[in-house]
Structure 1
Amino acid sequence: MSERPRRGLLADTTPLKTPAFRRLWTAGVVTVVGAQLTVVAVPFQLYEMTGSSAWVGLTGLFGLVPLVVFGLWGGAIADAVDRRMLLVVSGVGIAVSSALLGVSALTHFGGPWTVLVIFAVQTACLAVNQPTRSAVLPRILPLDQLPAANTLWFTVQQLGAFAGPLVGGVALAFIDVGVLYLVDTVCLTVSIWAAYRLPRLPVADGAETGLRGVLHAIRTSAGLRSVVDGFRYAAMSKVLLVSFLADLVAMGFGMPRAVFPEAAVETFGGGPAYGLLSASIAGGAALGGLLSGRLHGIARQGVAVTIAVSLWGVGVALAGLTSILWLAVLLLAAAGAADLVSSVFRSTMLQTVATDEMRGRMQGVFVVVVAGGPRVADLWHGWAADAIGTGAATALGGAAVVVGMLAVVLAFPAFWRYRAPVAGAPEDAPASQA
């Protein structure tokens, strides 16, 4: 039996007592730092090579397409192979891509198209790696520790999103952009090591493991039909369906990042405003994760998601109504903390409601939804800001989140009634994880 979740103020660290998860999480701390260096390096390198923001803008297209395609396909592959080996293979792909970007930058080999193509390949590998990593957790942890484990992981991601670009931006004033890529490559080796130390995690008994199993799945069972089966499965489960709709409502209506540059100048007078606005949501989410101890043990997770998404909307709406910078930053940070709560419980639902045979595909859909929602918001926020102003566009988006979330819950009341299952040992927990 698992330990009773801690209910103190600080984040519950009980999952770190499981060696397999501790290695994955520790490696994640290192690799998130490296990944954020690459996030800074790619746009910087493209602008340095071309002097054009249009080329930098192409990273959106070259990042989104492989993320959608390989997020869905990678989830299907993760449901057909030894997930440990898939984590290793995709991790190697990410590391090799970073190394190639570093060599390209240091030797000045290739042009902007070379950078974009390698970036797309790396994004494809990331899109396979992420759903696989999430699908692994219910196999190595008791189900009642999943909220704490997801909180620990999301907190690391948000801290990386907050601090990584700052560190990378400062570093670029002193070192070549290629060095950042090589630092990322070194960091990624830690993640590959942690994945290799996992026990074998085949989904089906008797399934072929190792690299041969991964290649066999790519050629056969992990095709379009498997992806379609994943969408059909999600549509049949009201809890899973609403977990996706909740994120689309929250991010598609409410993410205001597209108006930050204009708002920083027109509303808040320039200076540090853009940096503060850009960091506010991630900073609030990271702080929320660090102070998340009282979240764990909450059984009515559907209620928690509904309230959290609504609070995200309220925070965004109020931020759009103020012209005081510190207040806007504070409100956006509070919204970010609420979004972390929503993310934690929605991820936990996907890991517990979905069967092990479908978890990879559900996590693949989750990756696509998380990536797509903010880009939808970017599109309409930009148009709305031109028409009615940045503040009104932000407030309108936040209000739409609250209305949209309530409408979804009224349409699917089973989500509001959902309670987390009482969990004991992890599924098929192998003795070798100790």
Structure 2
Amino acid sequence: MPSFPKSALPDLAPWRDSRDFRVLWWSGLSAGLGHGLTAVALPFQLAQLTGSPVAVGLIGVVQLVPLVVFGLYGGALADAVDQRRLILWAEAGLAAVASLLVINALLPAPPVWPLYAAAALGSALAGLQRPATSALVPRVVAHRHLPAAAALTSLRWQCGAIVGPSIAGLVVAWADVSAAYALNALACVLAVLTARRLAPSPARHDAQPVSLRGIAEGAGYAWRRKELLGTYAVDVLATFFAFPIILYPFLAEDLGATWALGLMYAALPAGSALVGLSSGWTARVHRHGRAVAWAAAATGAAIALAGWAAGTGQVWLVLLFLTLTGCCDMVSGIFRRTIWDQSVPDALRGRLAGIELLSYSGGPQLGQLRAGTMAGLTSVRTSVWAGGLLCVAGVGLLVLCLPKLLAYDARTNAHTRAVREERAVAAGPKEADTVA
């Protein structure tokens, strides 16, 4: 009987070889589940209190500005302080925010403003924490295992995106929003207790203090690295044009299939999880820039096909193409993160992680505005398929303007080679083989 192909399974080498990566993975999973709970409970409560779609939509605006400001600041901070301590304090702050939401929900007449304040504060804390979390992975995982680490990290995010909202829906239906907030607070506490087991990760001896000049230095480095700039631009293009999530309720209504709304929300993360669970093949790919571009174009094509399928009225075909969209985006995401982790020097990793945070968080927020506006001017289905085609065209134009993205090869790229050698020197001769 033939054995199950190894390439059809995720590569667990980072998990097996690095205790700190395992700790970081479990801590992140707990935090992600908690975030998924509040991502459903907070807009649900706001809708109950105001009955206004505009009031619910303002959450995205309230979250975006702190994420931009504190994402850049958090990236600089991650290069200047112990990353473990930064992760712990930010996660503890998120637990406190969830606790305040519990108290507010238990009031006889909960005011609305604390919900917006909690959304803004939680976004600021996430902006402080995520660059440190991203920058820590290349420190604790061998250079050659970073593609596998990117796949496992993305899989962890998808688990949170699927399970967290699912639990929140049940809790809100059978209990109330205060229970969902309480579970989020508990998840944050568990994340803190788990992350306490991380080894200290102090700043480099030559680390610069946090300053606008330091942030500008990171941005300047990203601008000079055109293949790196290409990964950010591809991410923004895909999330701006090919993620019309805000239109799902209207799409389900047009199809006469409101029963499929939950499946639509689950389709993208489910597709991503499928790739994560079968990501062993990614270790054999070296032309990461080409993989990023092709997968991003395929993401646009898949969402365009979903819009076309909606016109035929075939709900299951729509769900199939939404799932395929998630698969393609996951492939692009794995190789984007691999480029970032393998080619950015340690001294700049936090600041570059802050810029990454803006690219994969700002795009979706602006993309919802794009999708809603285009749907209002044309129709829901047109907004979906046209966004997909614009994504494909945008990626094509991008690779013409930034040919270094397609030319990137992890085996020959000078920046990747320099980082590999830097890690080997830092580890010492006895550990050089392990680090490489």
Instruction: Give me the TM-score of the superposition, normalised by structure 1.
Output: 0.89
Determine helix, strand or coil for the equivalent of 2:258: coil
The residue aligned with 2:138 is 138
From 244, 256, 276, give the equivalent of 2:244. Answer: 256
**1:108, distance to aligned residue in structure 2 (A):** 4.7
| AA of the residue aligned to 1:398 | G
| AA of the residue aligned to 1:149 | A
**1:312, distance to aligned residue in structure 2 (A):** 0.6
Residues 136-173 of structure 1, C-alpha deviations (whole Å, 9 max, x = no match): 01111111211111211211212222232222111112
Matched, 1:225 2:213: yes
Which one has more relative contact order, counting CA pairs under 8 Å at least 6 apart? 1
Distance 1:7 1:143, change over 3 A: farther
The residue aligned with 2:76 is 76
Determine helix, strand or coil for the equivalent of 2:275: helix
Check whether the contact 2:64–2:365 (CA below 8 A) recurs between aligned residues: no
Matched, 1:111 2:111: yes
Residues 32-71 of structure 1, C-alpha deviations (whole Å, 9 max, x = no match): 2122111112112223333433332221122111111111
**1:242, distance to aligned residue in structure 2 (A):** 0.5
Give me the whole-angstrom Cα distance separating, in 2, the residues matched to 1:86 and 1:27. 14
| AA of the residue aligned to 1:62 | V
From 297, 305, 322, give the equivalent of 2:292. Answer: 305
Matched, 1:126 2:113: no
**1:98, distance to aligned residue in structure 2 (A):** 1.1
Higher helix share: 2
The residue aligned with 1:165 is 165
The residue aligned with 2:67 is 67
Distance 1:342 1:361, change over 3 A: same
**1:298, distance to aligned residue in structure 2 (A):** 1.3
The residue aligned with 2:265 is 278
Check whether the contact 1:143–1:424 (CA below 8 A) recurs between aligned residues: no
Matches within 5 A, 1:178-193: 178-193=178-193
Percent of aligned pairs with the same amino acid: 35
Distance 1:107 1:425, change over 3 A: farther
Distance 1:162 1:101, change over 3 A: same
**1:77, distance to aligned residue in structure 2 (A):** 0.9
From 336, 348, 353, give the equivalent of 1:358. Answer: 348
Check whether the contact 2:27–2:195 (CA below 8 A) recurs between aligned residues: no
**1:386, distance to aligned residue in structure 2 (A):** 2.6
The residue aligned with 1:245 is 233
Determine helix, strand or coil for the equivalent of 1:272: helix
Determine helix, strand or coil for the equivalent of 1:358: helix
Distance 1:429 1:325, change over 3 A: farther
**Aligned residues: CA RMSD:** 2.2
Between stretches 386-395 and 317-326, larger displacement belongs to 386-395
Check whether the contact 2:105–2:178 (CA below 8 A) recurs between aligned residues: yes
**1:308, distance to aligned residue in structure 2 (A):** 0.7
Check whether the contact 1:62–1:116 (CA below 8 A) recurs between aligned residues: yes
| AA of the residue aligned to 1:354 | V
Residues 229-278 of structure 1, C-alpha deviations (whole Å, 9 max, x = no match): 22111101112110101111111222222322222112x11322322222
| AA of the residue aligned to 1:157 | W
**1:285, distance to aligned residue in structure 2 (A):** 0.9
**1:206, distance to aligned residue in structure 2 (A):** 7.0
From 367, 376, 379, give the equivalent of 1:386. Answer: 376
The residue aligned with 1:8 is 7
Determine helix, strand or coil for the equivalent of 1:255: coil
Give me the whole-angstrom Cα distance separating, in 1, the residues matched to 2:376 and 2:48. 30
Determine helix, strand or coil for the equivalent of 1:296: helix
**1:174, distance to aligned residue in structure 2 (A):** 2.2
| AA of the residue aligned to 1:55 | A
The residue aligned with 1:296 is 283
Check whether the contact 1:45–1:177 (CA below 8 A) recurs between aligned residues: yes
Check whether the contact 1:147–1:296 (CA below 8 A) recurs between aligned residues: yes
| AA of the residue aligned to 1:231 | A
**1:109, distance to aligned residue in structure 2 (A):** 7.8
Check whether the contact 2:171–2:179 (CA below 8 A) recurs between aligned residues: no
Give me the whole-angstrom Cα distance separating, in 2, the residues matched to 1:59 and 1:376. 13
The residue aligned with 2:409 is 419
Give me the whole-angstrom Cα distance separating, in 2, the residues matched to 1:20 and 1:243. 27
Distance 1:24 1:424, change over 3 A: farther
| AA of the residue aligned to 2:128 | V
**1:424, distance to aligned residue in structure 2 (A):** 8.5
Matched, 1:195 2:182: no
Give me the whole-angstrom Cα distance separating, in 2, the residues matched to 1:429 and 1:371. 34
Determine helix, strand or coil for the equivalent of 2:11: coil
Matched, 1:317 2:304: yes
Give me the whole-angstrom Cα distance separating, in 1, the residues matched to 2:233 and 2:343. 16
Matched, 1:374 2:364: yes
Determine helix, strand or coil for the equivalent of 1:11: coil
Give me the whole-angstrom Cα distance separating, in 2, the residues matched to 1:98 and 1:146. 33
The residue aligned with 1:269 is 256
**1:194, distance to aligned residue in structure 2 (A):** 3.2
Give me the whole-angstrom Cα distance separating, in 2, the residues matched to 1:170 and 1:329. 22
Distance 1:48 1:265, change over 3 A: closer
Which 4+ residue blocks in structure 1 deviate beyond 6 angstroms? none
Between stretches 314-323 and 40-49, larger displacement belongs to 40-49
Matched, 1:28 2:28: yes
Distance 1:52 1:253, change over 3 A: closer
**1:7, distance to aligned residue in structure 2 (A):** 4.8
